[in-house]
């Protein structure tokens, strides 16, 4: 009896999973890469060095592949280590950890078709690659690759608005500041990053919290369709009606399914780009404790009263004084009048600074940019828990206890930041068949999800391990507090995760299995797992089994 019912249960489970992804793998096991390159106008035979590389792998393979790309697309499309353009590219990442990485060459495709050739050539030569959009991922190898080919999208910067102004089609070389500037004259915007130079590519494939997310959801939940270069070099469309499984997977599944060469984004009305926002700065222990409560109350107010409002809370210490910086923003001018902010009237002391004012989206993202300089060593490291003011207070205690151990670190700025996936944000995740983040349970329980992040910048490589160890201890303590208070949530937000974290695993066993089934169909050879090894892969953290906090 027991046996047969559990067998039925298992069958039902597996049937559920396998039913989700329909269709045979899109590639035959003996797929001929050289022939596919030929179909894309690239004759392997014309590059005599390439022929012996086919189906093999060698140290020189990447150099030869780079040379073939250079011959085929012209010298301007490939930067080699001896060129000044290479040095300025490698030096232009937000995080110095990524600038430590040196590819064989940088390839700058000028058309989506050239991205297809890159993928196939990488397969032919077995030369690994990485793709860089805005270059704001914090850790080495996320959008850079030692000895391989780093693809720069700097020549794929199109922004096209549909005639009815409902959809903006945005190529992956864009940063959000450029996209907002292009759309402003048409009185529309899209759901994207809150800082000018963040890339469309990384933010959108990982989720994407915007200024307007309680009204519209995450960036990934506002993508109408993706044009994707698949493992076999085809450009395929993923939308609610075409390849819906791939569409689902791309809405938070990262770089595991293909290279997105065009994001078709639903627009939002934003007349004149006008909005409101700015920061309130509070000092001292009593203010920090009160800020934890006010944050929690505001998340509730936003859900019940005013979806136009949004906020983050960032905390640090300077010269022994604790500081809380509360960023408040609003989807229209004069947002200060919103009832969402009521809890901040009860703070024990007045703010020492207040920069809240009418703004334009472009101006605001540019100002936020000023406080995030390029070229320092950077850590983003995060977790989530179900909405709880007590866990924020526990997190503050853990953070301020532990960061004392980093007093000797030169150029250090450690920050504890808290943001909310409010109930309206969670509700928008149900759009278009849902996303793989695995947050339906929180939504059903009526609990917002708080995304907490330990961020730090510092100067010297020699301090890396100390910073990782402290951040790992802080997160381990916050995780324990969230469990103890009945507020545990497995989910790790990809865009704030460290290289030690298994993000896809954090989406839950069922979502992970479905994501793997999608990959098995669209990338049966595992090209985006093996030849694009950086960032959050389906089965592992970027640096697995590190011993540091993972999730």
Ligand X SMILES: *[C@@H]1O[C@H](CO)[C@@H](O)[C@H](O)[C@H]1NC(C)=O
Ligand Y SMILES: Cc1cc2nc3c(=O)[nH]c(=O)nc-3n(C[C@H](O)[C@H](O)[C@H](O)COP(=O)(O)OP(=O)(O)OC[C@H]3O[C@@H](n4cnc5c(N)ncnc54)[C@H](O)[C@@H]3O)c2cc1C
Positions touching ligand Y (CB under 6 A) are 94, 131-137, 142-143, 172, 193-195, 198-199, 201-203, 205-209, 255, 259-260, 372, 495, 534-535
**Could you tell me which of 230, 229, 179, 238 has the C-alpha nearest to residue 203?**
179
Binding residue (CB under 6 A) for ligand X from 6, 46, 55, 71: 55
DSSP, collapsed to helix, strand or coil, labels residue 169 as strand
| Cβ distance to ligand X smaller for residue 320 or 547 | 320
333 binds ligand X (CB under 6 A): yes
* Nearest distance in Å: CB 217, ligand Y: 12
103 in Cβ contact with 73 (< 8 Å):
no
150 in Cβ contact with 103 (< 8 Å):
yes
| Cβ distance to ligand Y smaller for residue 283 or 529 | 529
Residue 319, binding choice from ligand X, ligand Y, none, Cβ under 5 to 8 Å by partner class: ligand X
Residue 32, binding choice from ligand Y, ligand X, none, Cβ under 5 to 8 Å by partner class: ligand X
Backbone angles phi, psi at 445, to 5 degrees: -80, 0
- As a whole number of angstroms, the distance between CA 331 and CA 329 comes to 7
524 binds ligand X (CB under 6 A): no
**Could you tell me which of 372, 363, 350, 184 has the C-alpha nearest to residue 276?**
363
Q: Of the listed pieces 29-37, 152-160, 161-169, 360-368, which binds ligand X according to CB under 6 A?
A: 29-37
Residue 135, binding choice from ligand Y, ligand X, none, Cβ under 5 to 8 Å by partner class: ligand Y
Residue 358, binding choice from ligand Y, ligand X, none, Cβ under 5 to 8 Å by partner class: ligand X
* Nearest distance in Å: CB 536, ligand Y: 8
319 binds ligand X (CB under 6 A): yes
32 binds ligand X (CB under 6 A): yes
DSSP, collapsed to helix, strand or coil, labels residue 415 as strand
Residues whose CB falls within 8 Å of the CB of residue 456, separated by 6 or more in sequence, listed in order: 378, 379, 406, 412, 413, 414, 415, 467, 471
- As a whole number of angstroms, the distance between CA 365 and CA 359 comes to 10
| Cβ distance to ligand Y smaller for residue 59 or 370 | 370
Binding residue (CB under 6 A) for ligand X from 334, 401, 460, 539: 334
Binding residue (CB under 6 A) for ligand X from 1, 30, 82, 444: 30
363 binds ligand X (CB under 6 A): no
Residue 59, binding choice from ligand Y, ligand X, none, Cβ under 5 to 8 Å by partner class: none
Residue 55, binding choice from ligand X, ligand Y, none, Cβ under 5 to 8 Å by partner class: ligand X
431 in Cβ contact with 252 (< 8 Å):
no
5 binds ligand X (CB under 6 A): no
208 in Cβ contact with 240 (< 8 Å):
no
Give first-to-last CA distance, the chain, whole Å. 38
Cα dihedral sign, 82-87-90-96? positive
Task: Determine how many CB atoms are found less than 10 A away from the CB of residue 346.
Answer: 10
Site for ligand X, rule CB under 6 A: 30, 32, 34, 51, 54-55, 318-319, 333-334, 358
């Amino acid at each position: 009896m027991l046996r047969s019912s559990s067998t039925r249960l298992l069958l039902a489970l597996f049937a559920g999973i396998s039913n989700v992804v329909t269709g045979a793998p899109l590639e035959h096991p003996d797929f001929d890469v050289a022939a596919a390159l030929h179909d894309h106008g690239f004759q392997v035979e014309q590059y005599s060095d390439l022929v012996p590389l086919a189906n093999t792998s060698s140290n020189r393979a990447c150099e030869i592949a780079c040379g073939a790309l250079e011959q085929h697309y012209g010298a301007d499309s490939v930067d080699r280590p001896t060129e000044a353009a290479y040095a300025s590219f490698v030096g232009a990442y937000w995080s110095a950890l990524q600038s430590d990485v040196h590819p064989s060459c940088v390839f700058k495709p000028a058309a989506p078709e050239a991205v297809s050739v890159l993928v196939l050539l990488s397969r032919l030569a077995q030369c690994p690659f990485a793709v860089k959009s805005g270059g704001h991922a914090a850790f080495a190898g996320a959008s850079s690759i030692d000895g391989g080919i780093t693809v720069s999208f700097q020549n794929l910067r199109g922004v096209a608005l549909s005639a009815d102004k409902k959809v903006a089609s945005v190529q992956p070389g864009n940063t959000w500041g450029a996209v907002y500037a292009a759309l402003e004259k048409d009185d529309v915007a899209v759901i994207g990053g809150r800082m000018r130079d963040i890339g469309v590519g990384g933010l959108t494939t990982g989720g994407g919290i915007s200024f307007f997310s309680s009204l519209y959801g995450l960036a990934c939940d506002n993508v109408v369709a993706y044009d994707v270069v698949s493992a076999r070099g085809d450009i395929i469309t993923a939308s609610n009606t075409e390849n819906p499984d791939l569409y689902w997977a791309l809405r938070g599944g990262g770089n595991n399914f293909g290279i997105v060469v065009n994001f078709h984004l639903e627009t939002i009305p934003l007349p004149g780009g006008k909005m409101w926002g700015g920061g309130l700065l509070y000092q001292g222990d009593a203010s920090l404790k009160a800020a934890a409560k006010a944050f929690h109350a505001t998340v509730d107010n936003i859900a019940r009263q005013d979806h136009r409002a949004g906020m983050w809370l960032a905390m640090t210490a300077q010269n022994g004084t604790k500081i809380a910086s509360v960023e408040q923003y609003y989807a229209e001018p004069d947002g200060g009048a919103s009832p969402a902010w009521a809890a901040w009237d009860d703070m024990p002391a007045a703010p020492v600074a207040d920069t809240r004012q009418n703004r334009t989206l472009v101006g605001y993202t540019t100002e936020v940019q000023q406080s995030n300089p390029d070229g320092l060593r950077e850590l983003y490291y995060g977790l989530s828990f179900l909405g709880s003011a007590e866990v924020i207070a526990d997190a503050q205690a853990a953070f301020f206890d532990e960061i004392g151990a980093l007093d000797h670190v030169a150029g250090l700025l450690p920050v504890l930041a808290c943001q909310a996936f409010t109930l309206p944000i969670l509700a928008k995740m149900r759009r278009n068949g849902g996303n793989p983040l695995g947050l339906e349970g929180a939504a059903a329980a009526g609990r917002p999800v708080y995304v907490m992040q330990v961020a730090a910048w510092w100067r010297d490589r020699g301090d890396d391990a100390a910073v990782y160890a402290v951040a790992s201890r802080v997160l381990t303590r916050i995780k324990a507090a969230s469990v103890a208070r009945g507020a545990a949530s497995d989910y790790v937000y990809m865009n704030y995760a460290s290289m030690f974290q298994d993000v896809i695993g954090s989406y839950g066993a069922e979502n992970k299995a479905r994501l793997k089934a999608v990959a098995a169909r669209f990338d049966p050879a595992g090209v985006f797992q093996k030849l694009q090894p950086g960032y959050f892969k389906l089965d592992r953290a970027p640096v697995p089994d590190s011993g540091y906090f993972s999730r």
